[in-house]
């Protein structure tokens, strides 16, 4: 006769943390292919019953029966697809009387399906499915553990759910083992399966708490081993190729692109021959690869996923870069030459170029740090995984990314060697340096502006920044036309009649320079300057020539739903589109949730930064479009969560330690960064998530930096549609 023990489960919803390798793939796919599953809070459509069936002697079968409501399905243990599908998992607490035999199996009508955007077919069950685990049970005992699963329909997937179970086996013979070790295992299982560590009077039972800690530690080890094994099945080649493409694309971002003039100028002095150019290019490329692969992963693993991005937005670091760019710029203008002391040069020659590599490595390190505020959205998912303990995936991803980033710069490093051969007299090369000197001075202002905005000094407001750029652009144009000469310039070129002339190439560069100055001029009276809005300070710092009049009167909300928390401190950082079109933005997550409940609108979480270049580009190129601005203003609650605002310190009682960042959360920027990492497993800015009034995702995939206006509109419309369905 067999003994059946049937247990109905109606356990409360508890979402488990995504496993590290799955977090990497979800984040990385969302950035490049937009594949994801939507998590939504609602009644569980799955009902589970569990029984223990005696087969023969001490052989038993533990059976999990899953009954699903109509239209819902659960993925197979081998779900197929691209690794995004979450299969059910069954975990048994350690028990010396129970020995599991073989893997768990499943039985039901398996359905095979393919979908656009998913690699290969995936498999699932509808209506019902049974899972079988064979085991040998020595004596009467208690079997405990938990099972996790995710249920989906053809539109959404609920969050992964975890349910504990406990089964009594009474027909195995003998009596239940009551030894100390058995008690410890049972206590551990009990603690893991239920929240019974608290006594009736509210105090914590020490023995139970200890057992619970032991059980959790054991489970964490098992999970880590399973994750490690599972990660080996993923396509690391795809990850490498995607990261490689991301590295090449990152060269076009403003932060990286601005380093090209410095690279060309730096290697102009070093690459006298083609052989030296190739050697230096190899050094430079290897340095970039080493820095991005090792430095990024190690710093993130040790100090948290946001460490490098925090450094790139730190006001002290930005002042340091400002000084470097100023020194380079003045040097290029001819004030002095940046050379190593003669003693250093001699030592370098005697050590076969060790010093040369050191200097090149420093240039690569500067590129890595300066560019990180733009490359963060691309490498951020890799760093999030590294911060949570994963190494192989981030290492391969960062390796591919660094190779893609290094390839174009390797060509730039070779290029100066060719320039030296072309410049027979040296005059042309000197003019190139002077032009780059003006460019470096203009770029230096951006770093000072970053520090100024971060600290709220208001020393370099928008109109002052624009005015300096106008002056530098005009001076550059005059220099190219030969109307401004520096002490170290050679005599200008002359035609056959002995008359000075300007080459056609320099004439066109001068036209561009003067045109840029004319374009900037309306900015002195409040023009948005969308083409350079990623570089200039925000409109909130504009106060010259009646600048306040440039702000639309409708931009301030007068009703009871106006933003309050942090509004006074952060209003000046609002983008031009917010002020000119009357879009109301909030700066606190909880406040936005409360307003969403009142106004019954979905929320757009805008994880942004004061010094985020790509954030400004999204706001000026996408948000400002009438069809986008209309949707944001009328259909959404927009909350701008600045992740680099570190001058706003949280009260002591609100500070806490973040496991995801592996650091203490002390500022508003830390708090927003932790929210991004802990709730959405994301890093880098800009990145947008859409949630309802309860914080549940309305659409699984995030939306990162993508200036495609129509794609953003389609994304907003899909969110609106999902919100209406859910309400």
In angstroms, the CA 7 to CA 2 distance is 16
Confidence of residue 177 (pLDDT cuts 50, 70, 90): low
Q: If DSSP codes are grouped into helix, strand and coil, which group holds residue 146?
A: strand
Q: In what order do the strands lie in the sheet with 151-152?
A: 110-113, 122-126, 73-80, 151-152
Specify whether the CB–CB gap between 586 and 563 falls below 8 A. yes
What is the pLDDT confidence band of residue 288, given thresholds at 50, 70 and 90? confident
The residue ranking higher by pLDDT, 573 or 89, is 89
CB-based contact 39:157 (threshold 8 Å): yes
Q: Which fold has domain 541-726?
A: Glutaredoxin (3.40.30)
Is the CA virtual torsion 455, 473, 532, 305 positive or negative?
negative
Comparing 351 with 241, which gets the higher pLDDT? 241
C-alpha–C-alpha distance, residues 535 and 520, integer Å: 12
- The pLDDT tens digits for 450-484 are 888 878 788 888 899 999 999 999 999 999 998 88
Strands (DSSP E) along 413-560, which ranges?
Answer: none
Q: What percentage of the chain carries pLDDT values higher than 70?
A: 65
Q: Which of 14-28, 212-226, 513-527 has the lowest mean pLDDT?
A: 14-28
Please report which confidence band the pLDDT of residue 429 belongs to, taking 50, 70 and 90 as the band edges: low
Rg (CA), the chain: 31
Instruction: Confirm if 139 and 173 have CB atoms less than 8 A apart.
Output: yes
* Torsion sign (Cα): 387, 393, 394, 395: positive
Question: What is the predicted pLDDT for the residue at 292?
Answer: 79
Start-end of H helices in 59-99: none
Is 486 in contact with 547 (CB distance < 8 Å)? no
In 3-state terms the chain splits into helix, strand, coil percentages (rounded to 5) of 50, 15, 30
Among the ranges 193-202, 574-583, 711-720, which has the highest mean pLDDT value? Answer: 711-720
Work out the angle at residue 318's Cα, subtended by the Cα atoms of residues 514 and 535, and round it to the nearest 5 degrees. 35
94-108, 290-304, 310-324: range with highest mean pLDDT: 94-108
The per-residue DSSP string of 647-683 comes to: SSBPPGGG-EEETTTTEEE-BHHHHHHHHHHHHH---
**C-alpha dist (Å) from residue 121 to 32, 79, 150, 184, 282:** 20, 9, 18, 45, 44
The residues with which 66 forms a beta bridge, in sequence order, are 48, 129
Paired tokens of 550: 């440039």
- Provide the H-helix boundaries in 39-78: none
Q: What is the pLDDT of residue 405?
A: 83
Residue 185 predicted with pLDDT over 70: no
Would you give the end-to-end CA distance of the chain in angstroms?
Answer: 51
Q: Is 293 exposed, middle or buried (0-12, 13-18, 19+ CB in 10 A)?
A: buried
Could you give the C-alpha distances from 7 to 11, 47, 163, in angstroms and in order? 11, 11, 12
Mean pLDDT confidence for 22-38: 39
Whether residue 385 contacts residue 24, with contact meaning beta carbons closer than 8 Å, is answered with yes
Residue 537's pLDDT band (cuts 50, 70, 90)? confident
Contact 81, 22 (CB under 8 A): no
CA quadruple 20, 24, 29, 35: dihedral, nearest 10:
20
| Mean pLDDT within 35-57 | 70
Token pair listed for 330:
């003045």
The pLDDT of residue 538 is 81
Res 548 pLDDT > 80: no
Residue with the two structure tokens 């290019």: 281
* 641 pLDDT more than 90: yes
CA–CA separation, 300 and 388 (whole Å): 9
Could you identify the residue written with the tokens 């239940």?
176
pLDDT above 90: percentage of residues in the chain: 17
Q: How far apart are CA 449 and CA 451, in angstroms?
A: 5
Which tens digits make up the pLDDT trace of 690-704? 999 999 999 888 898
**For residues 240-253, average pLDDT:** 75
Q: Within 10 Å of residue 427's Cβ, how many Cβ atoms?
A: 15
Q: Which residues pair with 649 in a beta bridge?
A: 667
Confidence of residue 520 (pLDDT cuts 50, 70, 90): very high
Homologous superfamily assigned to 7-181+210-223: Thiol:disulfide interchange protein DsbD, N-terminal domain (2.60.40.1250)
Q: Is 133 helix (H, G, I), strand (E, B) or coil?
A: strand
User: For residue 514, what are the contacts with CB-CB under 8 A and spacing of at least 6?
Assistant: 473, 474, 477
Give the strand pairing for 122-126 and 73-80: antiparallel
The two three-digit tokens of residue 299, written as one number: 């710093």
| Cα–Cα distance, 217 to 184 (Å, whole number) | 14
Q: Measured between alpha carbons, how far is 504 from 368 in angstroms, rounded to an integer?
A: 36
Mean pLDDT of the chain: 73
Both structure tokens of 347: 């030592």
* Sequence spans of domains, the chain: 7-181+210-223, 237-426, 541-726
Within 10 angstroms of residue 457's Cβ, the number of other Cβ atoms is 12
The per-residue pLDDT for 511 is 95
């Amino acid at each position: 006769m067999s003994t059946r023990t049937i247990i109905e489960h109606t356990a409360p919803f508890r979402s488990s943390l995504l496993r590290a390798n799955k977090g990497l793939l979800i984040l990385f796919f969302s950035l490049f292919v937009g594949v994801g599953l939507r998590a939504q809070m609602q009644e569980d459509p799955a009902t589970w019953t569990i029984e223990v069936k005696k087969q023969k002697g001490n052989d038993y079968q533990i059976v999990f029966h899953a009954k699903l409501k109509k239209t819902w399905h659960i993925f197979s243990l081998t779900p197929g697809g691209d690794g995004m599908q979450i299969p059910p998992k069954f975990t048994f607490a350690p028990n010396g009387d129970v020995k599991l035999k073989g893997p768990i199996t499943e039985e039901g009508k398996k359905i095979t399906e393919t979908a656009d955007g998913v690699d290969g077919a995936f498999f699932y069950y509808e209506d019902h499915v049974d899972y079988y685990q064979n085991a040998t049970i020595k004596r009467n005992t208690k079997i405990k553990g938990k099972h996790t699963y995710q249920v989906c329909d053809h539109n959404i997937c609920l969050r992964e759910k975890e349910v504990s179970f406990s089964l009594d086996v009474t027909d195995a013979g003998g009596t239940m083992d009551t030894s100390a070790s058995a008690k410890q295992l049972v206590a551990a299982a009990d603690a893991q399966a239920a929240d019974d560590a608290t006594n009736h009077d509210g105090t914590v039972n020490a023995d139970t708490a200890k057992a619970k800690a032991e059980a959790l530690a054991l489970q964490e080890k098992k999970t880590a081993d399973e994750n490690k094994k599972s990660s080996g099945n993923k396509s690391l080649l795809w990850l490498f190729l995607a990261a490689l493409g991301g590295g090449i694309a990152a060269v076009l971002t403003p932060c990286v692109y601005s380093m090209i003039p410095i690279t060309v100028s730096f290697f102009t002095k070093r690459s006298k021959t083609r052989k030296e150019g190739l050697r230096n290019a190899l050094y430079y490329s290897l340095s970039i690869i080493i820095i991005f692969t090792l430095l990024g992963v190690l710093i993130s693993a040790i100090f948290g996923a946001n460490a490098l991005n925090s450094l790139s937005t730190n006001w002290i670091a930005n002042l340091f870069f400002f000084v470097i760019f100023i020194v380079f710029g003045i040097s290029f203008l001819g004030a002095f030459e940046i050379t190593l002391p003669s003693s250093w040069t001699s030592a370098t020659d005697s050590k076969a170029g060790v010093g040369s590599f050191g200097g090149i490595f420093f240039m690569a390190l500067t590129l890595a740090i300066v560019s990180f505020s733009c490359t963060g959205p691309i490498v951020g998912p890799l760093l999030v995984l590294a911060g949570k303990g994963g190494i192989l995936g981030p290492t391969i991803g960062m390796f591919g990314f660094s190779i893609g980033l290094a390839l174009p710069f390797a060509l730039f490093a070779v290029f100066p060697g060719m320039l030296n051969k072309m410049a027979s007299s040296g005059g042309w090369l000197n003019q190139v340096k002077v032009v780059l000197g003006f460019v470096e001075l203009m770029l230096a202002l951006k770093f000072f502006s970053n520090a100024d905005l971060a600290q709220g000094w208001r020393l370099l407001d928008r109109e002052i920044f624009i005015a300096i750029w106008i002056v530098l652009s005009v001076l550059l144009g005059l220099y190219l036309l030969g109307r401004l000469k520096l002490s170290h310039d050679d005599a200008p070129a002359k035609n056959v009649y002995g008359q000075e002339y300007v080459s056609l190439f320099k004439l066109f560069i001068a036209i561009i320079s003067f045109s840029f100055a004319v374009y900037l001029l309306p900015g002195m009276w409040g023009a948005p300057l969308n083409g350079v809005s990623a570089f200039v300070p925000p409109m909130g710092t504009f106060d010259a020539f009646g600048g306040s009049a440039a702000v639309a009167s409708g931009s301030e909300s007068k009703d009871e739903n106006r933003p309050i928390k942090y509004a006074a401190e952060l209003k000046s950082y609002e983008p031009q589109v917010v002020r000119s079109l009357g879009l109301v933005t909030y700066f606190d997550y909880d406040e936005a949730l409360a307003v969403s409940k009142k106004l019954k609108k979905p929320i757009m979480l805008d994880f942004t930064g004061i010094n985020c270049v790509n954030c400004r580009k999204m706001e000026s190129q996408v948000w400002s479009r009438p069809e986008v601005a209309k949707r944001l203003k009328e259909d959404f609650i927009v909350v701008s969560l600045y992740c680099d605002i570190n001058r706003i310190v949280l009260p002591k009682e609100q500070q806490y330690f973040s496991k995801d960042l592996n650091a203490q959360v002390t500022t508003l920027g830390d708090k927003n960064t932790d929210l991004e990492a802990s709730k959405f497993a994301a890093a880098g800015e800009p990145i947008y998530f859409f949630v309802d009034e309860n914080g549940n995702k309305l659409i699984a995939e995030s939306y990162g930096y993508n200036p495609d206006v129509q794609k953003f509109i389609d994304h907003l419309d899909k969110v609106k549609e999902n919100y209406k369905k859910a309400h």
